Structure 1
Amino acid sequence: MQTTIASTEAERIPFWSALVRDRRIAPALGLGFSSGMPFLLTYSTQSAWLTDAGVPLATIGLLSELTLAYKFKFVWAPFLDQYDPPLIGQALGRRRGWLVVAILAVMVMLVGIALGDPGHWIWWTVGFSFALGVAGATLDLVLDGWRITSVRPPEKQAVLAVLSSWTEIGWRVGNLAAGAGALYLADRIGWKGAYLCMAALMLVGIVATLFAPEPISDMEPHKPHAGFVKTIWAPIQDLLKRLGPMAVAILLLVAGFRMPGYIASAMAVPLFKHQGFTNTDIATVTKVFGFWIALGGTFMAGWLIPRIGMMPSLLVGTVAGSASHLALALLAAHGGDGGKAFWTFTLAVGVEGFAYAFASIVLITYMSTLASVEHAASQFGLLTSLCAFPGSILAGFSGFVIEHTGFVWFFIWTSLIGIPVAMLAVFVWYRVGISDEAPIQARGGH
């Protein structure tokens, strides 16, 4: 039986005025900022501190596994949907209560890392960094749950697109603070002071939580708590049941949507180094210039989705995201002139970064429409892990591929991966689609 869904015209939401008119947007911006900080501070930024402290490179490489919590956060996500946080849950609600708990946990772990000395007591740093990864992943889960459940049932997916875009903007600013900001502070006040400043910046999230409106779902009576296994299985069962016969196709689309991007990004910096660009060139273009380009892609997605709808935006996102790798192939073919082709480098990074940011917002909004209110954190966490896992695994083989094909054909092939994904998006669009309000339904039945 062919599955279809009633189509509705997407509600047009003023992107900029929503920041003032909708009381959910400003808190989403602040919460996104707090959510964007822990990941880099768990490993990437911290690796610079470990290097300064004389920690062996082999050890630093192994510590990258501290970010595994972000890959497996779906395991404990169901408990955040099912159970209230102790003490403050009744006062703030389930979502906001867990937000405060997660943010305070991140602050404590950052202070713990600041009080350590990785050069002489590495296990102290490892312990607090692992806990920071768990706390940061939990913060991501709870924020996603709040963002999805804050959109009331009568509202359109356009509202969700705008809310997701502003959350992503805050995340990118927080990411910049935890990256370039922490490095800047470390040169001036030392690593301990930098991490203490990062802990203090997390107060932005506390303030945002207190001003955030409470989702309607938090006001509903809680269902009886299920057993351990049922708590974990219930969100998966609910998702598969709601997606129905199209579950496999939709989940494959989610898994493949960002696969080309994950594979290509693993070899982007090696390409830049191979072309002769300096660390300063790479930092300037990818971090500073790239930050503003990514904001542009985020704004574009927030503006476009309400105007053309979810599934057309999804198709545009997968085509643009994959095709943008041809810019990196062009840079590889150009040769970089020994690091002198700065503007060619900038153009390639700009095209790829803009498309990546646009595609990310489109996918976030789409996955948000797939998650139910009752299992928002669980199902969104599961979908994000599904999105990242295949590409992350294949990215591990990217270096071996380049040894046989070279950089040019590697990036051409990663762009071509987008063709079957785009065809799958067209298939899902034709067979199902996701409207603004209605659930997936079968034609001629319920």
Structure 2
Amino acid sequence: MSHQEELVDLVWWRQKPVWIMVFLGFSAGVPLLLIFSSLSLWLREAGVSRAEVTYFSWAALGFSFKFVWAPLVDKLPLPLLSAAMGRRRSWLLLAQLGVIAAICLMALTDPQQQLQMMAVAAVLLGFSAATQDVVIDAFRIESADVRLQALLSSTYIAGYRIGMIAAGAGALYMAQFFGSTSDVYHYDAWRNTYLCMAAVMGVGVLTTLLIAEPESGRSPYHYPTGDYLRFFIGFALSVAAFVAVLFIVPPSPQWLEGPSQYLLSFVYGALSLILAAAAALVVFRVMTGFGFVNRSLVSESYTQPINDFIKRYGSLAVWVLLLIGFYRVSDIVLGVIANVFYQDMGYSKDEIASVTKIFGVLMTIVGSFFGGFLTLKYGVMRVLMLGAILVSLTNLMFMWLAGIEANIIALTLVIAADNLSGGVAVAAFVAWLSSLTNISFTATQYAMFSSIMTLFPKLLGGYSGTVVESVGYSSFFLIAGAMGLPVIVLIWYLNRRIETSA
């Protein structure tokens, strides 16, 4: 690449895909905190226990299993919409409408009266938001060449974090304005807040209607309509088998209670998930074996993307997947309990919104742009290493914060360091994940990578409330920081064996 081409790439404001990703990033950032931090404060004000609040983080496991239905997004045409809007835009619009519907359902549910319905609505939001992410990730990778991916990931993260400000700080400010506080709970205040958040998603819908389909997303669908319909039916029946097994499997038995109950409960839950996944796989394989589902379509959707990745990386594929799965474990596990921690330490909702949701997100945006430009200059793996080290060190700063009285200056310092380092790490990580994909299987492979990235951390994060209740905040933050050490070793190992394009 010539010096002139490098300058063109760096003049990011002239690149149309960059601005598109800002608005699509905003649309992707809104739903996440409506499942995590904003919802956690709503549930706490409604009198839900700390342990149950963190269990709600599992509602976002759709982000960790989106690789399962990503092939449908890649291969399944939507009636009328796909012909009118194209493959990516049609699915993007459907996902965004699903997000809006799920947020409205949450708004119309009072957790004091219908906690189970709130859980269902949160799961639906996680599923719809994860589907939106699948399409946006594919759109981002297909809309520009590899030279722009680091900048696209940075601007996507910037838009994403602005969306998080709207759903995080914006939601907290509105709930406070409408009259709900930690001392006096008002359901109407949170209902109105979430309805406003549903309206904010109009930004994403408008963007989807105005943008053009990427050239690589225009590929025609090659199979008869009946094949796609049977493929969808097979997938739906497999999901039904998965859910049925989870309902049949009993909850953790009483003999799991004891000093090691949390570890044993985690293992029991993981085995239940594996059993349910096995049942779903058996159902799908039976329907494929009897010819109900087209074997060739299944191969294109699932087998070929996986085989392509294994062929390209060979024996290193396992180590690459391990790095993907563990890179953000320290950050995500801490993030699940963060809002509850701030509240328990005595910070007001306004202080949490101003410092952690507005100032903190702005620091993340700064860190993401810094990480993007560092990636262009020094390469992905070096910045991955820098990000991993910084995230582990800054997570330890929360131990100091837990040991002092509520102090807005101390909170600001910790949030600044934590979010700057997180922004650098995520920008490099997204660029690295993008470089791992083959353009022939964009949606499926990137969904697989990003699913693995969040699966293990979110499973652990669901137990963060119970761990805090057992060992306290300081020990928990020490554990969270130490989780980053294996990541540093993995990066060092892979950096010596994989040539990664910056």
Q: What TM-score does the superposition give when structure 2 sets the normalisation length?
A: 0.73
Query: Which secondary structure does the structure 2 equivalent of 1:324 belong to?
Result: helix
Map 1:127-276 onto structure 2 (within 5 A): 127-152=120-145, 155-156=146-147, 159-186=148-175, 187-188=177-178, 190-224=189-223, 226-227=294-295, 229-230=298-299, 231-266=301-336, 268=338
Cα gap change, 1:328 to 1:110, in 2 (>3 Å): closer
Cα gap change, 1:137 to 1:282, in 2 (>3 Å): same
Structure 2 distance, partners of 1:321, 1:23, is 32
Counting matched residue pairs gives: 421
Cα gap change, 1:223 to 1:247, in 2 (>3 Å): farther
- Decide whether the 8 Å contact of 1:13 with 1:306 is kept in 2: no
Cα gap change, 1:9 to 1:242, in 2 (>3 Å): farther
- Decide whether the 8 Å contact of 1:85 with 1:98 is kept in 2: yes
RMSD: 3.5
Structure 1 distance, partners of 2:451, 2:357, is 25
Cα gap change, 1:198 to 1:362, in 2 (>3 Å): same
Map 1:43-122 onto structure 2 (within 5 A): 44-46=37-39, 48=41, 63-115=56-108
Counterpart amino acid of residue 165 in structure 2: L
Counterpart amino acid of residue 430 in structure 1: R
Counterpart amino acid of residue 429 in structure 2: L
Structure 2 distance, partners of 1:435, 1:277, is 44
Structure 2 distance, partners of 1:62, 1:324, is 25
Cα gap change, 1:397 to 1:92, in 2 (>3 Å): closer
Q: Hey, what does 1:300 align to over in structure 2?
A: 370
Q: Hey, what does 1:339 align to over in structure 2?
A: 406
Cα gap change, 1:353 to 1:204, in 2 (>3 Å): same
Query: Which secondary structure does the structure 2 equivalent of 1:184 belong to?
Result: helix
Higher relative contact order (CA 8 A, sep 6+): 1
Deviations 1:354-404 (A, max 9, x none): 101211111111111112222222222221221222333444666787789
Q: Hey, what does 1:430 align to over in structure 2?
A: 496
Cα gap change, 1:199 to 1:262, in 2 (>3 Å): closer
Q: Hey, what does 1:390 align to over in structure 2?
A: 456
Structure 2 distance, partners of 1:50, 1:387, is 27
Structure 2 distance, partners of 1:32, 1:80, is 19
Q: Hey, what does 2:22 align to over in structure 1?
A: 29
Q: How far is the alpha carbon of 1:312 from its aligned partner?
A: 1.8
Deviations 1:48-95 (A, max 9, x none): 556666778887666554333222222111111112222121232211
- Decide whether the 8 Å contact of 2:58 with 2:459 is kept in 1: no
Structure 1 distance, partners of 2:395, 2:491, is 19
Of 161-170 and 375-384, the range deviating more from structure 2: 375-384
Cα gap change, 1:202 to 1:12, in 2 (>3 Å): same
Q: Tell me if 1:354 matches 2:424.
A: no
Give 1:18's match in structure 2, choosing from 12, 15, 19.
12
Q: Tell me if 1:284 matches 2:273.
A: no
Query: Which secondary structure does the structure 2 equivalent of 1:375 belong to?
Result: helix
Unaligned runs of 5+ in 2: 179-187, 229-293
Counterpart amino acid of residue 21 in structure 2: A
- Decide whether the 8 Å contact of 1:249 with 1:428 is kept in 2: yes
Structure 2 distance, partners of 1:217, 1:366, is 21
Q: How far is the alpha carbon of 1:103 from its aligned partner?
A: 1.2
Query: Which secondary structure does the structure 1 equivalent of 2:77 belong to?
Result: coil
Structure 2 distance, partners of 1:322, 1:53, is 33
Counterpart amino acid of residue 311 in structure 1: M
Of 231-240 and 79-88, the range deviating more from structure 2: 231-240
Cα gap change, 1:254 to 1:284, in 2 (>3 Å): same
Task: Answer 1 or 2: which has greater helix percent.
Answer: 2
Structure 1 distance, partners of 2:109, 2:4, is 52
Q: How far is the alpha carbon of 1:131 from its aligned partner?
A: 2.5
- Decide whether the 8 Å contact of 2:31 with 2:125 is kept in 1: yes
Q: How far is the alpha carbon of 1:250 from its aligned partner?
A: 1.2
Structure 2 distance, partners of 1:389, 1:274, is 27
Cα gap change, 1:409 to 1:50, in 2 (>3 Å): closer
Structure 1 distance, partners of 2:220, 2:393, is 48
Counterpart amino acid of residue 255 in structure 1: G
Query: Which secondary structure does the structure 1 equivalent of 2:323 belong to?
Result: helix
Cα gap change, 1:43 to 1:304, in 2 (>3 Å): closer
- Decide whether the 8 Å contact of 2:30 with 2:163 is kept in 1: yes
